[in-house]
Structure 1
Amino acid sequence: MNTWAELTDQVMLGTQGTSTSSYEWAAFTPEQALLKQLALVGAARRAGLIAQAVRSMPFIDPAPSEMLLPCSMFALDWLKKIDRASYARELIRDWCLFILERQKRVPHIALPYVLNLAATQSQWAPYLLPLVGERGRWLIDRNEAYLALRQTELWSVETALELKPAEIADDNKILITLRSQMMEGLAHE
């Protein structure tokens, strides 16, 4: 059982009376082997790889080693909060610049979220892409959903140098308060 269709058929039919088909899964019960195979194929599909019907996993060149440390999950929570805020346009820019200044990247677990945010909100892509790290670039190259993020101008040094914080009017008390709360929350990053 290798393809997604075969695995989902097995889920629907159940594992009673089946045995693990290869030595790789011999140490597991049929249920455990099926769940592990689903997890592997599901993760590969989410990363952009569509598994072929083969009896062994194809060679996939690994992502390069990361040069930057990940930001904290607390900082990532701030990004998710401000993404839903009415002032997201201003606050996301500030969040990204803050994380860039700290020379950090988003954690690997958050890459699908951040890449989807960059792909759907093109105005934020120049701010978010420097934060995806080596694995993020690796995923972009392998997933057709991120085709728009492959534009060379998004990755240029000039684009990174042009990134500026949001301009906030002095009379916008709500946004000033939100920004200060966010910066205070990120202070230990």
Structure 2
Amino acid sequence: MQPITIILTDRYSDWEIGHLAGLGGAFFGADLRFVSPSGGALRSVAGLPLSETARFEPQESGVVVICGSPVWEGQGAPDIGVPLRQSLANGCVLAGICGGTIALARAGLLDEVAHTSNGPGYLDQLVPGYRGQSRYVDQSGALRDGNLITAPAPAPASFAYEVLVAAGLDRAAAQQIPDMLAREHQA
């Protein structure tokens, strides 16, 4: 399986990558790497501390995941467009969940591909110059179009599935994640 680089910011939404990091690493042996726009220590929105992250640099291979955070919605959000575009040019798959889709939209990467996010108008409100409205798909699960994966906040299971498949995990093995979690909601 190819490496999965997860970009976190301070106040990252820990539940959005919980299935990917926890199940992906523990059950499937995914090579997970945690980075942030400037490196250093972080704290999740729930207060979970992370003592160290490497600085995000363009990746040569694998999947680059952008975890959601309220930070992406603010005026002072970090600009990671250049390393995202370079990672994509290097052949990486890029994936954003919730606010992570804002970083993809700010980099101009959602203008020409089918994508989803936190609802119609979400990216329009937060990303001046966003031109992907005609390609937006309002759906509850993750969506992959070529080398881009997007998901709304309440879709961590389908997001984990798409990311792990993109990293090289067999589809049947990855399907165990949404199947296992769906059982909780069966009557």
Which protein is bigger by CA-based radius of gyration? 1
> TM exceeds 0.5?
no
TM-score (norm 2): 0.28
Q: As a proportion of its length, which structure holds more helix?
A: 1
TM-score (norm 1): 0.28
Q: As a proportion of its length, which structure holds more strand?
A: 2
